[in-house]
Structure 1
Amino acid sequence: MLLTDRLVYVHMPKTGGTFVTSVLERLHQPSPNRLQGLWHRARRHLGRPWAEAPGKYGRLRNVEPKHGTCHDIPASHAGLPVLSCMRGPWEWYVSQYEFSWWKRIGQYDPNDPSTPAGWAIERALPAFVKERPHFPDIGFAEFVELCDRAADIYNGETGTDFGLFTHGFVRYFYRDPPAVLRRLSDRYLASAEHAGDRFDVTFLSTERLNADLQRALVRFGYEPDDVAFVGQLGKILPMGIGRREDQRWERYYDEALKASVRQRDRFVFRMFPDYDEASGAMGASA
């Protein structure tokens, strides 16, 4: 999670957060004058992070948990605008699969906080692995099955049948996730109550991230000339891991698997209708 004097950035995994983080760190670097430079070098010598040095746009703090939800926003920043990224469900599952973090769960510090998706997958994984001696060499359809099993851990608590993306999205951006999940319906989505149950978040589309981020930053008070570079930036990948241009999401799905994801994450598709078919084909991302 990134905290600034102007906004809070909530980093839901695999939606473009590495790109946004890089841009905000660049904007919040110390101003290039001699006094600031000396102050900056002194802080580095003392082991203090450069991102805390004041610059033109004030301080930026990259705080733990890195992938904290809206519930983790500290009271000191609770009144600021919240920025996050939204990615289509079909693309999100492919990105999770190819990034392969789920193969490395045993390497993580067990004391580190888990994301909603990570927490559920960690609990579904032992039984899943016992049934598949070839793990972690599983295909994409098997990975989606793992995600469905993880989602069913939550579904058992809420009496629902939603996919893992839906559970993660609701737990990131709604004030009372279990209550919202139990009430999800077309009528509820159309109600004013639904809007009040969600935190006030400006969503950037991962598929249009350069343009969306540039516009949002101007809206939140960053000068247009200072954010002009955002429109020209190429991909910035977590750990340098990304997909090739030929690894488009459509290649991972047959019609039955695509229909299954559409059904399980149906209300996310209804909240963001551009992600059904048309926007999912915008192109592969990290």
Structure 2
Amino acid sequence: MIFTDRFVYVHEPKTGGSFVTEALMRLYGMRWSRWLRLEAMVRGQVTRDGSPHGRFTYHNLKHGTYGQVPPPHREKTVLATVRGPYEMYVSQYEFGWWRRRDMRRHFAAVPDFRRRFPRFPELAFPEFVELWDAAMGDPHPEGRGAWTRQFIRFYFRDPARALAMPDAALRDAETRRAALPAVHFVRTEGVREGVYAFLLDQGFRPEDAGFILEMGKVLPGKGRRDDQRWERYYTPALRDRVRRRERLLLEFFPDFDV
């Protein structure tokens, strides 16, 4: 997480947050380094006051949710990056961190895990989708999928209450506005332009923030090749399955359902 005098950045995994973090650090005159990482680990956060834009704090809870934002910062505007569920599955699959040993405790709780996924962790993409949704989504067949639940956990003021609400309640615009903080969502595929426009709205000058439009990709490890477009991973049936499970998230962001 990042806290500034003007806004907060909440970094949902695999949504372009490494790019946003580097961009904001540069804006505030900071550079990511081994020593900065060590300071964040030892102190829990790194704060700098020397920028003309004010105070900047990088919190070591990299993927903290809105509910973990300290009270003094909770009424500030929240900047967030979001990505569609179809691409989220592909990004997670190719990044591969789900294969790590510490993730197995989540998957071992899936009913009949060893019988259903005997080749784990060597899974084809459809198998991964089935496993991830079984582990992270609602266990009821008609419940909410993994990415809808993650979105609610990351951004709603009271995630437990929101998760208990029926879809019909969260479809109501007034109910949803009351349940969310003042959050500004930027799509991953337009992250440069989105972050730049957000900063201008926050009062930053174009000459200070304009470098963001020229930044290259910032990848936390292995990135996907240009030919690994998410559409190539899906059969019509698999796409329909994801659409059904992530229906609420796709209603929040209709442009994700392309």
**Counterpart secondary structure, 1:238:** coil
- What residue number does 1:138 align with? 123
**Counterpart secondary structure, 2:80:** strand
Change (3 A) 1:184 1:230: farther
Offset at residue 133 of structure 1 (A): 4.1
**Counterpart secondary structure, 2:212:** helix
Q: Specify which of 215, 228, 231 is matched with residue 247 of structure 1.
A: 228
Offset at residue 186 of structure 1 (A): 4.3
**Match runs of 1:26-105 below 5 Å:** 26-29=26-29, 52-105=48-101
Whether the aligned pair in 2 keeps the contact of 1:147 and 1:163 (CA below 8 Å) is no
- What residue number does 2:257 align with? 276
Q: Specify which of 194, 198, 214 is matched with residue 232 of structure 1.
A: 214
Offset at residue 130 of structure 1 (A): 2.6
Measured in 2, the distance between the counterparts of 1:187 and 1:80 equals 26
Offset at residue 178 of structure 1 (A): 3.2
Change (3 A) 1:223 1:122: farther
5+ residue gaps in structure 1?
Answer: 31-43, 107-117, 278-286
Measured in 2, the distance between the counterparts of 1:122 and 1:16 equals 27
**Match runs of 1:121-132 below 5 Å:** 122-125=105-108, 130-131=114-115, 132=117
Offset at residue 140 of structure 1 (A): 0.7
Runs of 4+ in 1 over 6 A off after TM superposition: none
**Counterpart secondary structure, 1:236:** coil
- What residue number does 1:19 align with? 19
Measured in 2, the distance between the counterparts of 1:90 and 1:200 equals 26
Q: Are 1:201 and 2:183 counterparts?
A: yes
Offset at residue 197 of structure 1 (A): 0.9
Q: Are 1:181 and 2:163 counterparts?
A: yes
Offset at residue 198 of structure 1 (A): 1.5
Q: State the one-letter code of the partner of 2:187.
A: S
C-alpha RMSD over aligned residues: 2.4
Whether the aligned pair in 2 keeps the contact of 1:9 and 1:83 (CA below 8 Å) is yes
Offset at residue 98 of structure 1 (A): 0.7
- What residue number does 2:150 align with? 168
Measured in 2, the distance between the counterparts of 1:53 and 1:194 equals 36
**Counterpart secondary structure, 1:82:** strand
Q: TM-score, normalised to structure 1's length?
A: 0.79
Offset at residue 122 of structure 1 (A): 3.9
5+ residue gaps in structure 2?
Answer: 41-45
- What residue number does 2:248 align with? 267
What count of residue pairs does the alignment treat as equivalent?
246
Change (3 A) 1:259 1:56: same
Describe the superposition over 1:39-75 as per-residue Cα deviations: whole angstroms up to 9, x where unpaired: xxxxx79x85776252121232211321000001111
The percentage of aligned residue pairs carrying the same residue is 39
Measured in 1, the distance between the counterparts of 2:157 and 2:49 equals 33
Change (3 A) 1:129 1:216: same
- What residue number does 2:172 align with? 190
Q: TM-score, normalised to structure 2's length?
A: 0.87
- Greater CA deviation, 249-258 or 179-188? 179-188
Measured in 1, the distance between the counterparts of 2:68 and 2:164 equals 23
Between Structure 1 and Structure 2, whose CA radius of gyration is higher? Answer: 1
Describe the superposition over 1:100-128 as per-residue Cα deviations: whole angstroms up to 9, x where unpaired: 1111243xxxxxxxxxxx7xx74224657
Whether the aligned pair in 2 keeps the contact of 1:129 and 1:135 (CA below 8 Å) is no
**Counterpart secondary structure, 1:162:** coil
- Greater CA deviation, 216-225 or 128-137? 128-137
Measured in 2, the distance between the counterparts of 1:205 and 1:66 equals 19
Measured in 1, the distance between the counterparts of 2:65 and 2:105 equals 18
Measured in 1, the distance between the counterparts of 2:183 and 2:81 equals 9
